[in-house]
Amino acid sequence: MTYFIGVDLGGTNLRAALIDPASGERLAVRKMATPNRAGPAAVIDSISQLIDEVVAAGQVTREAIGGAGVGMPGLVDLDRGVALLLPNIAGNWPEVMLRDVLERRIGLPVRLINDVRAITLAEWRFGAGKGVDTMACYAIGTGIGGGVVVNGRLHLGISGSAGELGHQVVEPNGAPCNCGGRGCLEMYASGPAIAARAIQAIVQRRPTCMGELVDQDLNRITVEVVLQAARMGDEVARTIFEQAGAYLGIAVANTLLTISPRKVVVGGGVAAAGDLLLDPARRTVRERVFLMPADRVEIVPAELGNDAGLIGAALWAAGKALP
């Protein structure tokens, strides 16, 4: 039996797990705070430490481990193993030869991948997309990432850039996005976008309980607060999710007409809203898609939760991009 290590590098937390690539089973999982302000060298030190910890906790020899995969929230040059742009990780990351440095540190082969491409791979192999040949994945949280599997293969495109579904334009003259574009889905359906709409509603004195839930401290408004209010029947909060879901539906409609997936899997923290978000997305798809059988496409929640990135990174290290 050969095991692989999956690493999920986030702006807040750094996680690693020892994974059985045949089943997706997590033999050991460890987590620590990402040394976000200390620069690349400190982050690499922490990754190395976590890998040592999961190997020890999993009670396997180094010889039983085939390699490690690292999922990263940003642009990665897959061929050279270089981190190009990590917007949520502080420090001077461009041109950091992360793969080569980490391989020397841990004595194992290392492969890098965008974190949501890793989630996509895991959900397709073991999660909500299991058994289909073509699927799309949206991860909706602080930002919106994505990934696509086409004809039984994780599609990566040029330098792994394929699948940036959160940066589809849903408002042609819309708000400027951090990516440099305008009107991206991320500006209308991400967690911060939903929270901003809630704050606006409170400031405008619309009839909502959201302000009361945070004692009128607008700095405490989060997507979780909006969801709490929506589940209490607050119509303003429900409308905010309705609007976000409609924008998501526009992006999903584009995806359906482009790759004709069997399933669209939606994960991330905002996806905890469930049908409050997905039902308006489904309605929007039905209203907009006519040149492919949209009624045969399932739009479903992700299944693997926070472990999806770990599993997918390990699968990528194992070369499991094919069934």
Instruction: Write the DSSP string, 251-311.
Output: HHHHHHHHH--SEEEEESGGGGGTHHHHHHHHHHHHHH--SS-GGG-EEEE-SSGGGHHHH
Residue boundaries of the structural domains of the chain: 3-121+307-318, 132-303
**278 pLDDT higher than 80:** yes
Q: What is the CATH number of domain 132-303?
A: 3.30.420.40
**163 pLDDT higher than 90:** yes
pLDDT band with cut points at 50, 70 and 90 for residue 320: low
Question: How far, CA to CA in Å, does 57 sit from each of 30, 104, 194?
Answer: 9, 22, 40
Pairing of strands 135-140, 110-114: unpaired
- Tell me the pLDDT tens digit for each residue of 49-82: 999 999 999 988 888 999 999 999 888 888 888 8
Contact call for residues 213 and 202 (beta carbons, < 8 A): no
- Tell me the pLDDT tens digit for each residue of 283-316: 999 999 999 999 999 999 999 999 999 999 999 9
Contact call for residues 5 and 314 (beta carbons, < 8 A): yes
- Three-state SS for 239? helix
Question: What is the chain's percent helix, strand, coil content, to nearest 5?
Answer: 45, 20, 35
pLDDT at 38: 77
pLDDT at 89: 74
Contact call for residues 270 and 190 (beta carbons, < 8 A): yes
**172 pLDDT higher than 70:** yes
- Tell me the pLDDT tens digit for each residue of 225-238: 999 999 999 999 99
As a whole number of angstroms, the distance between CA 34 and CA 90 comes to: 10
**239 pLDDT higher than 60:** yes
What's the chain's average pLDDT?
93
pLDDT at 322: 41
Question: If you average pLDDT over residues 177-183, what whole number do you get?
Answer: 91
Share of the chain above pLDDT 70, in %: 97
* Burial letters 16-40, b for 16+ CB under 10 A, else e: bbbbbbeebebebbbeeebbbeeeb
Please determine whether the domains at 3-121+307-318 and 132-303 fall in the same fold group of CATH.
yes
Contact call for residues 62 and 47 (beta carbons, < 8 A): no
pLDDT at 81: 87
Question: If you average pLDDT over residues 107-111, what whole number do you get?
Answer: 94
Give this prediction's pTM.
0.93
- Three-state SS for 176? strand
pLDDT band with cut points at 50, 70 and 90 for residue 321: very low
Tell which CATH architecture fits domain 3-121+307-318. 2-Layer Sandwich (3.30)
**245 pLDDT higher than 70:** yes
